[in-house]
Amino acid sequence: MSGVPFKNPGWAGNTGEFDLTEAQVRGDDFVGERPRAGGHPSGASTYPYMLAEKHPDAKLFEGDYQTRFEKILTRYPNKQGALLPTLGLAQEVRGHVSPETMDEVAGLLGLSPAYVRGVATFYTMYNKRPVGRHLVQVCTNVSCNLCGGDEVMEAFVRYTDTEPGETSEDGEFTVIEAECLAGCGFPTCVQINSRYYENVTPADVPGIIEHLKAERAGSAG
């Protein structure tokens, strides 16, 4: 895979004879642009929890997000059932789920704040504090570990110039160790925001980081 690390990032099997594009592998070509208001309610809660742009002070919820929230509510027999998707939606907007956010979600669903805090803190994907624009989660569990997961983790920490769990000074990266991401045959598996990167070796890491930075420059410019 070295040499062309970004020919097919995320390609599940960059080691085979495979000539699909990245969009075909990820399914982006099939999915297309998904409407922010949620599309059909059956899939309204499947949106990215992690976006690079975060708005910690945004209202819960307004505009398209309010529409999506209302669609989610229709899919459960009671409001409590919508708690996880609503926390996910709040994180998508704000980037993390602070105690205040938990309380607001409680208000929206008619639940007690203590209850929502108890539930939200049980789950690891709700960031309890702000994270960088890119949340890098490196699987170091057994299958990836056998193939060098620890070294990939070290490489991300080194090249982002940060400590595990801390956010780099420029606010770009937070790197954490993750448990199995269900990509064990394509080690090392790394999740960056909402995307999977597979077959990652330590040598690929600087390229991935440059790629992410370039993406930002592209989108900002």
Partner 1 sequence: MAYPYVSDREVRLLSRSFGDPKGRRLDTYVERGGYQALTEAFGMGPDAVIDEVKASGLRGRGGAGFPAGVKWSFMPKEPTRPHYLLCNADESEPGTFKDRELIRWDPHQLIEGVLIAAYAVRAKQAYIYCRGEFFETTQVLAKALEDAYAGGYVGKDILGSGVDIDITVHLGGGAYICGEETALMNSLEGRRGQPRVKPPFPAAVGAFGMPTTVNNVETLSAVPHIVVNGGAWYRQWGTEKSTGTKLFCVSGHVNKPGNYELPLGFPLMDLIEDVCGGMKNGKALKAVIPGGSSVPILTAAECKGVNLDYESVQAAGSMLGCASVIIMDEDTHIVKQVRRMVDFYAHESCGQCTPCREGTAWLAKVLRRIEDGMGAEEDLDTLLGMSRQMTGTTICVLSDSAAAPVVSSIQKFKDEYLALIRRGERAGVA
Q: Give residues in contact with partner 1 (CB under 8 A).
A: 10, 12-13, 15-18, 20, 24-27, 29-32, 34, 39-43, 45-50, 75-78, 80-85, 87-88, 109, 111, 118-120, 122-126, 140-143, 145-147, 179-187, 191, 194-196
Cα 214 to Cα 202: distance, rounded to the nearest angstrom: 19
Pick what 42 binds: ligand FES, partner 1, none; C-beta below 5 to 8 Å, kind-dependent: partner 1
| 10 Rama class: left (phi>0) / alpha (psi -120 to 50) / beta | left
The long-range contacts involving 110-117, CB below 8 angstroms and separated by at least 24 positions, are 110/79, 111/79, 111/80, 111/83, 116/83, 116/87
Token digits for 73?
């509510």
- For ligand FES, the closer of residues 8 and 137 by Cβ is 137
Q: What's the closest the beta carbon of residue 217 comes to partner 1, in angstroms?
A: 23
- For partner 1, the closer of residues 169 and 194 by Cβ is 194
Q: Does 189 bind ligand FES (CB under 6 A)?
A: yes
Q: Does 10 bind ligand FES (CB under 6 A)?
A: no
Cis preceding linkage at 30, omega within 30: no
Q: 195 φ, ψ to 5°?
A: -105, 150
Report CA 151 to chain centroid distance, whole Å: 22
Pick what 110 binds: partner 1, ligand FES, none; C-beta below 5 to 8 Å, kind-dependent: none
Q: What's the closest the beta carbon of residue 138 comes to ligand FES, in angstroms?
A: 9
Cα 217 to Cα 73: distance, rounded to the nearest angstrom: 37
From the list 12-20, 22-30, 139-147, 202-210, the region that binds ligand FES by CB under 6 A is: 139-147
Number of residues that bind ligand FES (CB under 6 A): 12
The pairing of strands 173-178 and 134-139 is parallel
Q: Does 184 bind ligand FES (CB under 6 A)?
A: yes
Total Cβ atoms within 10 A of residue 47? 18
Q: 175 φ, ψ to 5°?
A: -115, 125
Between 68 and 107, how does the x/- string for binding to ligand FES read (CB under 6 A)?
----------------------------------------
**Residue 98 amino acid letter:** S
Contact residues for ligand FES, defined by CB under 6 A: 139, 141-144, 180-184, 187, 189
